[in-house]
Structure 1
Amino acid sequence: MRGPPVLRLDGLTKAYGATMALNDITLSIPDNAYVALLGSSGSGKTVLLRTIAGFETVDRGEIFLNGAPLHGVPAHRRNIGVVFQNFALFPHLNVFDNVAFGLRHGAGRHIESKAIEANVRAMIDLVGLGGLERRSVTQISGGQRQRVALARTLVTEPQLVLLDEPLGALDANLRTRMCGELRRIRERLGVTFLHVTGSENEALAMGDEVIVLDEGHIAQVGLPDRVYTRPRDARVARFLNCYNLIEGRVAAGGFEAEGCLFPCASAASNDAPIYAIRQDLISVQATGEAAPGDPLLRAIFVASEYSGPAVTSFFKLPSGAVVTVEDHLSHRDPQTFEPGRSYGLTWKVDDALLLSRRAGASS
């Protein structure tokens, strides 16, 4: 059973002129969890993070931390840690002094110096930087600088840690390694992380729970596999960047699109004008045949892209829309296709989703 939330947002609303940055955000963040907040540029995710941290005020609504309202509480008294994308380290201080800064000048200014030194060394060891205490932060790698920024935040023992696109400044290989490190550190400390990102892969990999933010609204909240396999509407599916979304209309016996009638596993409603099929669930048939009862769509092969673990192929439909097919090399050898040739695209009827363009608010 889930315990009381560490953070509760009740009706947060924030506008900049005619632009609604946050629109009635109501949300609970569980204690001792890694929560990913996913949103595209302009979705309001940075405004929401800054509002929780106390750097921005809202027009309406309330924020509660462990049940206590934060209205009027300044940022430095909220006991919320923030790790910025650019790390915001002090270049004139070494690793030890950067980590110690918050204890010496903020939350721990009444702690004895010996206790501060012990706490800082323990935190530096926890994030894997033992032996680099006297190294300048200008002389360490990007991943090490991120660990310094994280240690500086965690050493003050915040009740909640906000991570503002913390992997955005790192290269791809380092991002992968740091995903595991962040989860390990969080689990050791038992503090909740709210990880803000524009990367669907990062959100799904990191979050015990994923929150999808869309134009200031909460579009979906759920477990990563649920969000991935059952996006709530077409906009969420588009954020995930792994679905083909085909426009059409509900018709007798299924869904009509691209001159075809696709059978549906369940009755389609008129508020579901988008047919969605994941890129990795499509099979390509040179003969243009499908198993009985499965959908079949003819398309012209355009090109393929090799990305290491997968090959992505693009097919043009009669309308000019493009369908993307992803072949994971761990599953089978990649197929080869002839440019300009027509192929049959098919999938299991149960794998398709019928989605509305945009569902109502979710919490």
Structure 2
Amino acid sequence: MVFACKKRLTEEGQLLELNGVTRLYGDVVALDGLDLSVPDDTYLSLLGASGAGKTTLLRLIAGFEEPNRGELLLNGERLDGKPPHLRDIGFVFQNFALFSHLSVAENVAFGLRYREVGRLENEAEIRERTQHALELVGLEDFGHRGVGEISGGQRQRVALARTLVTEPQIVLLDEPLGALDANLRARMCDELRAIRERLKVSFLHVTGSETEALTMGDTVAVLAEGRIAQVDNSRSLFTQPKNPASARHLNAWNLLSGVVENGALRTSVGLLPIGEKVADDTPVQLAVRFDDIGVCAPSDVPAGHDHFEATYVTGEFNGPTALSFFRTPDGELIQVVDHLSDPRLPQLEEGKSYALFFSPDSAVLFKGAA
């Protein structure tokens, strides 16, 4: 048995489109004229900080809430105003939302038996589709068990099977790996991608983890201040963020604010050369990735490198990498990452001042105030 794929795409090949979507809670703007397109047959990660509106966005798509302004379309048809059970959208909740009094198989079959539209009456067909969904997520021998008798990772897969068995056009995942331990998260990343690729159904995966977003998504969208800051493939987003909001959400870039002065950037750490020609008095933010910064004594800066001085505060050991924290004279925190397989930083002493240097080519400029 193969799950059906009920799609009628727009001319542009977009499965889901959000145009100018705004959601207000009193005077609080959760989403502010947001535009987003989800193509057919793709895994799109939505990355955003806590409170950025990620879950609100999913709830609007699913129909649990309605926008104050804007429109949502699935295959070119308006979604807003349509009740959730008529939207043909699957939703995997962060806490899985399984029925504890039902078995694994009964949880998966629930939507087939009780949904308002397309409810199945034939028990043989229900059993066949339920078993196929369990096989798809690797739980074909677990149907008789209670949900309290299986692990967190298995419960996550039951929740996914319960969604997939109804053959939705798109699957929404609300931080689905957040309740799992580190080992399970890594394994489920691989399993989710493999399942999606077999089904050719689009997944929209919401997360606050930049690592998870970059790992999972064919495409990653960054949500900041109620709008989409950037949509790109993982590598381009990580190496070439297009604005400060994207750089901050990646948790891999240091940002220094300044104003252009005679072809250089006047910052809190001094005057730094810039490679681009920018008019004087233009506000600019200079971004340098954690792993593009070297550390040395102030007298040993390599030729051809920009640098500034900062005081070493502390370090953080993360297994294959180590993160070092420095404080500039005006209190700005700068982070430098070192890979233990190829260490490049000297032995650092807390409270001592060092030169932090980088190649001008590695810096990215964002014009505009912070």
Which TM-score tier does this pair reach, normalised by the shorter chain? over 0.9
Gaps of 5+ in 2: 1-10
What RMSD in Å do the two structures reach over aligned CA positions?
1.8
Identify the residue that residue 4 of structure 1 maps to in structure 2. 13
Mapped to 2, the partners of 1:135 and 1:259 lie a distance apart of 61
Stretch deviating more after TM superposition (106-115 or 119-128): 106-115
Identify the residue that residue 300 of structure 2 maps to in structure 1. 289
Stretch deviating more after TM superposition (268-277 or 51-60): 268-277
Stretch deviating more after TM superposition (265-274 or 135-144): 265-274
Tell me how far 1:320 sits from its aligned partner: 2.2
Identify the residue that residue 275 of structure 1 maps to in structure 2. 286
Mapped to 1, the partners of 2:94 and 2:40 lie a distance apart of 23
Picking from 92, 106, 119, the partner of 1:97 is 106
Written as runs of structure 1 = structure 2, the 5 A alignment for 1:246-325 is 246-268=256-278, 271-286=282-297, 288-325=299-336
Code of the residue aligned with 1:222 in structure 2: it is: D
Written as runs of structure 1 = structure 2, the 5 A alignment for 1:20-31 is 20-31=29-40
Identify the residue that residue 126 of structure 1 maps to in structure 2. 136
Tell me how far 1:72 sits from its aligned partner: 2.5
Whether the 8 Å CA contact 1:37–1:194 is kept in 2: the answer is yes
Is 1:88 matched with 2:101? no
Tell me how far 1:259 sits from its aligned partner: 4.6
Tell me how far 1:212 sits from its aligned partner: 1.0
Written as runs of structure 1 = structure 2, the 5 A alignment for 1:1-363 is 4-106=13-115, 108-110=118-120, 112-268=122-278, 271-286=282-297, 288-332=299-343, 335-356=346-367
Gaps of 5+ in 1: none
Cα distance per residue 1:201-257 (max 9 Å; x no partner): 111111111111112111111111222122222222111111111122212132122
Code of the residue aligned with 1:88 in structure 2: it is: A
Tell me how far 1:321 sits from its aligned partner: 1.8
Mapped to 1, the partners of 2:366 and 2:245 lie a distance apart of 9
Mapped to 1, the partners of 2:225 and 2:122 lie a distance apart of 47
Mapped to 2, the partners of 1:99 and 1:318 lie a distance apart of 58
Tell me how far 1:69 sits from its aligned partner: 1.4
Tell me how far 1:342 sits from its aligned partner: 2.1
Could you state the TM-score of these two structures normalised by the residue count of structure 2?
Answer: 0.92
Mapped to 2, the partners of 1:351 and 1:111 lie a distance apart of 62
Report the identity percentage: 51
Mapped to 2, the partners of 1:94 and 1:288 lie a distance apart of 69
Whether the 8 Å CA contact 2:20–2:70 is kept in 1: the answer is yes
Structure 1 residues 66, 292: CA separation in 2 closer, same or farther (over 3 Å shift)? same
Whether the 8 Å CA contact 2:258–2:266 is kept in 1: the answer is yes
Could you state the TM-score of these two structures normalised by the residue count of structure 1?
Answer: 0.94
Stretch deviating more after TM superposition (181-190 or 3-12): 3-12
Cα distance per residue 1:170-216 (max 9 Å; x no partner): 11221111111110100010000000111111111111111111121
Cα distance per residue 1:249-277 (max 9 Å; x no partner): 21213212235322222223555422111
Code of the residue aligned with 1:79 in structure 2: it is: D
User: Which secondary structure state, in structure 2, belongs to the residue aligned with residue 43 of structure 1?
Assistant: coil
In the comparison of the two structures, how many residue pairs are matched? 358
Mapped to 1, the partners of 2:144 and 2:121 lie a distance apart of 22
User: Which secondary structure state, in structure 2, belongs to the residue aligned with residue 35 of structure 1?
Assistant: strand
